[in-house]
């Protein structure tokens, strides 16, 4: 059982969890000009929805455009790969190696039964690795179908879901990662060539680094939130937390212990600013318990099942609706779905948020 204690710093009586997370996650408090700084602050940004993930970074980067986020990926300061929970994320290039070392062995072990179903054994992975490394050496970038052709030529079937599981496994082992887009198509590259300066860490140092930066960039958060987000076992998550408690402070809210950096400024109350968050944004997906920002009555509207988490409208720290976008020529059309009838001030705030999103895309905006 955790024991609450105060570290050096200051307490936060009446801590507003939602407001503090908005600030600490850089949503209400953008302080960085470069996308890689944002990704490094958050440690990882969930990115299976590629275009949504570009906006997740962009809304936290001062004055950013979608092209600038993609340029950071092309310039190799941000890497897209599978470092945790078997899910695609953006991570800073400097961090990709130690995160893979720490987090993917547990993911790979948990996939054993699925590998067996797909008849993927160690000799198959080794043959796949050899073929892919040979095909990508020298800075080559191949699209997914081209990667599958390489595997088929090496007599490795990619039928069903075998292909994507092989590519995921090679990424988790640190062999490949995503490169720059070729038009609208994602490409794969060798990680050693794409991010050669990425560093390794001893296990305890990696646990400490992950915990410290998670609670700094995502706090206030609980031990259970950290374990869920990272995919670590509860024991490993607790070990990481214990290593960095001198840098953190606890706050007890409704009998739960929340942790955040002891240097964290208290988030100030703001007007009813609206934020358009993409699906799978860290503001929701970064926590096991999302009730501080999402009323349980509306969980199904944001997560109807099938692993999808819808884009959300956030006002005053709370998820108050969802939204969708369409991209007719030279414009973006945003359709809002409010959970309850919005006030005029909320509609105005949404219009401001929509214009900001349009500026990010370089498009005019229409709200419907």
For CA atoms 317, 319, 321, 327, the dihedral sign is positive
- Whether 57 and 129 map to the same domain: the answer is yes
Residues 96 and 219 in one domain: yes
Domain identity same for 278 and 360: yes
Structural domain includes residue 266: no
Boundary (domain end) residue, out of 233, 258, 283: 258
Q: What is the pLDDT of residue 2?
A: 33
Q: Which domain holds residue 159?
A: 1-258
CA 321 to chain centre: 21
Q: Which pLDDT does position 330 carry in this prediction?
A: 87
Of 204, 231, 258, which one is at a domain's C-terminal end?
258
Are the CB atoms for 312 and 325 separated by under 8 Å? no
In what helix (H) or strand (E) does residue 169 lie, and over which residues does it extend? helix 162-172
Please identify every stretch of the chain with a pLDDT value under 50, giving residue numbers as ranges.
1-10
Task: Check residue 7 and give its pLDDT.
Answer: 32
Question: How many CB atoms are located within 10 Å of the residue 12 CB?
Answer: 18
User: Is there a domain that residue 342 lies in?
Assistant: yes
Per-residue model confidence (pLDDT) at position 12: 56
Assess whether 254 and 302 both reside in one domain. Answer: no
- SS3 call for 221: strand
CA dihedral sign, ordered 226, 174, 87, 71: positive
Q: Is residue 39 part of a domain?
A: yes
Q: Is 269 inside a domain boundary? A: no
pLDDT in tens, 287-330: 999 999 999 999 999 987 777 889 999 999 999 999 999 998 88
Q: Answer whether 274's CB lies under 8 Å from 315's CB.
A: yes
| Residue 11 pLDDT | 53
For the chain, the domain total comes to 2
Residue 265: the pLDDT is 87
Nearest C-alpha neighbor of 74 from the set 187, 196, 197, 170 = 187
């Amino acid at each position: 059982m955790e024991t609450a204690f105060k570290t050096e710093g200051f307490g936060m009586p009446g801590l507003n969890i939602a407001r503090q997370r908005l600030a600490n996650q850089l949503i209400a408090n953008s302080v960085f000009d470069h996308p890689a700084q944002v990704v490094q602050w958050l440690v990882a940004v969930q990115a299976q929805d590629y275009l949504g993930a570009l906006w997740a970074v962009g809304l936290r980067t001062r004055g950013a455009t979608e092209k600038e986020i993609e340029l950071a990926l092309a310039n190799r300061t941000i890497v897209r790969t599978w470092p945790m929970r078997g899910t695609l994320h953006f991570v800073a290039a400097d961090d990709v190696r130690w995160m893979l070392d720490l987090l993917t062995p547990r993911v790979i072990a948990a996939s054993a039964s699925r590998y067996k179903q797909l008849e993927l054994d160690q000799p198959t992975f080794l043959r796949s690795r050899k073929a892919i490394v040979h095909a990508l050496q020298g800075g080559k970038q191949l699209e997914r179908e081209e990667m599958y052709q390489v595997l088929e030529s090496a007599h490795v079937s990619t039928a069903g879901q075998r292909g994507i599981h092989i590519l995921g496994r090679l990424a988790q082992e640190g062999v490949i990662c995503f490169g720059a887009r070729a038009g609208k198509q994602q490409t794969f590259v060798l990680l050693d060539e794409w991010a050669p300066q990425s560093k390794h860490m001893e296990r305890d140092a990696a646990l400490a680094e992950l915990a410290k930066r998670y609670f700094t960039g995502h706090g206030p958060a609980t031990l259970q939130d950290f374990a869920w987000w990272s995919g670590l076992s509860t024991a490993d998550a607790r070990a990481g937390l214990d290593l960095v408690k001198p840098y953190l402070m606890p706050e007890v809210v409704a009998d739960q212990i929340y942790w955040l950096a002891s240097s964290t400024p208290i988030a100030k109350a703001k007007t009813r600013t609206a934020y358009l968050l993409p699906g799978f944004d860290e503001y929701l997906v970064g926590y096991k318990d999302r009730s501080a920002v999402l009323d349980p009555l509306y969980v199904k509207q944001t997560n109807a099942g099938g692993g999808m988490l819808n884009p959300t409208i956030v006002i005053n720290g709370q998820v108050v609706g969802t939204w969708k976008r369409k991209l007719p020529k030279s414009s973006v059309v945003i359709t809002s779905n409010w959970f309850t009838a919005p006030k005029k001030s909320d509609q105005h705030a949404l219009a401001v948020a929509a214009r900001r999103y349009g500026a990010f895309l370089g498009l005019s905006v229409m709200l419907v």
